[in-house]
A and B are shown apart, each in its own frame.
Chain A
Amino acid sequence: MKTLVWVEHDGGSVKDATLATVTAAAKLGEVHLIVAGQGVDGVAQAAAKIAGVGKVHVADDAAFANALAENVAPLIAELMGHHDAFLAPSTTTGKNIAPRVAALIDVMQISDILSVEGPDSFTRPIYAGNAIATVKTSDTKLVLTVRTTAFEKAAAEGGAGSIEAVASTGDAAKSRFVGAEKAENARPELTSAKIIVSGGRALGSEEQFHALIDPLADKLGAAVGASRAAVDAGYAPNDYQVGQTGKIVAPEVYVAVGISGAIQHLAGMKDSKVIVAINKDEDAPIFQVADIGLVGDLFTIVPELTSKV
C-alpha cells in the first residue's frame, strides 16, 4: 500500500506530530510525504531525512502558504490518484483538511486512530474516550487522522527520501488568510511535552493561575495546560485546554492542580504515564485515575512544592 502523509510544519521545521503519523503510515506500507506551503525547501529537506520515508512531494505555491483547506484538499485529492491512503495528524490543521479530502474522493474518513489492526481495520476512541471502537472500512482508499500520542515518533534523521516537485492546483479563491494571533509561550509545546502542569477552576483567578502554575511548570521544565473550566473563566488561553474538545496529551507526568476530573477532561489526559493530582476534595473523580494524589489546599501545597523540587 502506498501512503501519503501530511507534513505539519511551521514554514521552517517539521513538527513532531508528523513523526508519529509516519509511524502509523509505515504500518500500512510505503510512506510518501506531502509538503505544501510557500518557500518550503528547508522543510522538504528535513522531511526527506525522516527514517523510512520514500518520496517527498513538494507543492510550493503562495496558495498553500497558510494550509487553507479549500486550496490544499484538491492538491491532495489529485495525489490520491496514485496513493492508497492519506494520513494526517489529528491536529487542528489535519482535522480541517482530511475530511474535505475524504469527501472529494468519496471516502468515509476514520478519525483519530489509536492503532492499526490490519490494512482496513483500526481502533479509535468514541464517547470522549469512554469506549474504544474497532472499525473496518469497505472503502478502497483510506483517509485517516492519527492520534499522535498513540504512536511512537519516527526518527527525524536517517532517512533518504527523494524530493519531487508537484504542480500546484492553484488558488480556489474561496477563502483568504487574514491573520493569526499566536499565544506567547516559551515553554514546551503541550502535545509533545514530557511533563505537563495543568490548572483548574480552583485556582480562582488568572493572576493566581500564573502565580502558582507557571513557576512550578518552569521548575519542572513542563508545559502548562488547563481544564475547560479554567479556560472558560478566562484564567488561561483557549489553546491550553486539555480534554475531549481541546488537546489530547499523553505526557510522562501530568500534574492536575485543582481539577476535579470531569469525563471530558479525562478524555484528554488519561493516557498519561503518571498522573499526579492535587485537590482539596478527596472524593474528586481525578483521584480515581491519579497514580499519586495529595489532598489539601493547593494555595499552600503548590508554593511549597515549587520551592522543594
Chain B
Amino acid sequence: MKIVVPVKRVLDYNVKPRVKADGTGVDLANVKMSMNPFDEIAVEEAIRLKEKGAATEVVVVSIGEPKAADTLRTALAMGADRAILITSDQPVEPLGVAKLLAKVVEEEQPGLVILGKQAIDGDNNQTGQMLAGLLGWAQGTFASKVEIDGQSANVTREVDGGLETVALTLPAIVSTDLRLNEPRYASLPNIMKAKSKPMATKTAGDYGVDVAPRLTITHVAEPGKRQAGVKVGSVDELVEKLKALGVAK
C-alpha cells in the first residue's frame, strides 16, 4: 500500500506573528518557516507504517511557492521515498488544495492519505475532510492512534469528552492529532541522502483544476489587547479579589 502525505510550509510555531501595519496580512518577510507541526506527525506515522510493513511507499506532496521544496526535503530526510512539488503563483485555499490532492490521489492510487488536522497559519482544519468528501472516502480525523487491519483501518479519534474509535474501509483519509506520535529528527546522513531522492515539480495549472480563491481577506488586525493587570502579594489578597468577583464566598 502506498501512502500519500501532504505537507505545508508555514511560519515556525515558535515565532510570534506580526500583523502588517497596513492591515493586509501577517508579515512573513525574513521569518523562520518550517513544516507545519501536524504534518511532521503525519510524515512520522506514514514512515512508521512503512517500517511495520503495512505500507510500501511514502509519497509527500506540497502545494505552494517553490520554497516548499525545502519542506519536502525535510520529509524525505525523515524517511519519505519521493516528493511532488506543486507550485502556485498565489496561495491556494483548502478547497483548492483538496481538489489538487484529489488529482494526485487519482494518479498515485494510495491506500491511505495522512494529513495534519490543521495548519497553524490558517487554522482552518478543513483540507482532510474536504479531500475525503471529494473522493467519497472514509475519514478518520484528529487521530491519536492508527491500526491497519487488512482492508480497513481502526482510527482512535480525539473528540470533545474523550476518545472514539472508528473502523474505516480503505482507501481512507486520516488527519493527525498531536498525540499520535513523536516525530523523529532527520539525521545528517539522511539529510544528505534526501538530496538525491526524486522530487517531481509541477504547477497547479498542470492538473486542470480551478483553484481560484473564493475568499478575500479584506483586513487583518491585531487582536484586542488585554488591560495590564495587578499583582497581589498574598493569598489573602487574592481571596479578597476573588470575592469581589463573586467567585469565592
Q: Using a CB–CB distance below 8 Å, which chain A residues touch chain B?
A: 66, 68-70, 73, 91-93, 95-104, 106-112, 121, 125-139, 172-183, 185, 189, 191, 195, 220, 228, 231-232, 237-239, 244-245, 247, 252-253, 263-264, 270, 274-276, 282, 287-295, 301, 304-305, 308-309
12 CB < 8 A contacts A-B = A70-B138, A100-B133, A103-B131, A127-B26, A130-B26, A178-B167, A244-B123, A253-B247, A293-B230, A305-B235, A308-B235, A308-B236
Chain B residues near A309 (CB-CB < 8 A): 239, 242, 247-249
Bound-complex Cα distance A301 to B93 (A): 48
Check A109–B242 contact: CB distance below 8 A.
no
Chain A, Cβ-Cβ closest to B234: A294
Chain B residues near A103 (CB-CB < 8 A): 95, 98, 129-134
Q: Which positions 61-95 of chain B face chain A at CB distance < 8 Å?
A: 93-95
Check A177–B166 contact: CB distance below 8 A.
yes
| A133-B217, A137-B214 given; A128·B123 CB < 8 A | yes
Q: Residues 128-156 of chain B: 1 if any A CB is under 8 Å from the residue's CB, otherwise 0?
A: 11111110111111101000000000100
B15 to nearest A CB, angstroms? 9
B44 at the interface (CB under 8 A from A): no
B192 at the interface (CB under 8 A from A): no
B52 at the interface (CB under 8 A from A): no
Check B164–A129 contact: CB distance below 8 A.
no
Check B223–A132 contact: CB distance below 8 A.
yes
Q: Residues 221-249 of chain B: 1 if any A CB is under 8 Å from the residue's CB, otherwise 0?
A: 11100111111111111110110010111
| A127-B17, A228-B178 given; A109·B229 CB < 8 A | no
Check B139–A70 contact: CB distance below 8 A.
yes
| A174-B168, A239-B161, A290-B229 given; A308·B214 CB < 8 A | no
Check B229–A293 contact: CB distance below 8 A.
yes
B95, B121, B139, B169: the one within 8 Å of A102 (CB): B95
Check A100–B167 contact: CB distance below 8 A.
no
Chain A, Cβ-Cβ closest to B132: A100
Check A182–B230 contact: CB distance below 8 A.
no
Interface centre among A125, A177, A180, A282 (most CB of B within 10 A): A180
B184 at the interface (CB under 8 A from A): no
Chain A residues near B226 (CB-CB < 8 A): 270, 275, 288-289, 291
Check A175–B133 contact: CB distance below 8 A.
no
Bound-complex Cα distance A109 to B93 (A): 10
Check B231–A175 contact: CB distance below 8 A.
no
Check A127–B120 contact: CB distance below 8 A.
yes
B17, B133, B158: the one within 8 Å of A104 (CB): B133
Q: Which positions 109-131 of chain B face chain A at CB distance < 8 Å?
A: 117-118, 120-131
A305 to nearest B CB, angstroms? 5
A147 to nearest B CB, angstroms? 11
Check A130–B16 contact: CB distance below 8 A.
yes
Chain A residues near B131 (CB-CB < 8 A): 103
Chain A residues near B134 (CB-CB < 8 A): 103
Chain B, Cβ-Cβ closest to A181: B163
Which 7 pairs from chain A and chain B are nearest by CB? A103-B133, A99-B129, A309-B248, A108-B214, A103-B130, A99-B126, A291-B229
B196 at the interface (CB under 8 A from A): no
Bound-complex Cα distance A183 to B180 (A): 18
Check B239–A305 contact: CB distance below 8 A.
yes
B98, B165, B231: the one within 8 Å of A293 (CB): B231
B153 to nearest A CB, angstroms? 10
Check A179–B164 contact: CB distance below 8 A.
yes
A107, A135, A179, A181: the one within 8 Å of B218 (CB): A135
Q: Residues 162-200 of chain B: 1 if any A CB is under 8 Å from the residue's CB, otherwise 0?
A: 111111110010000111000000000000000000000
Check B133–A101 contact: CB distance below 8 A.
yes
Check B220–A136 contact: CB distance below 8 A.
no
Check B162–A294 contact: CB distance below 8 A.
no
Chain B, Cβ-Cβ closest to A277: B229
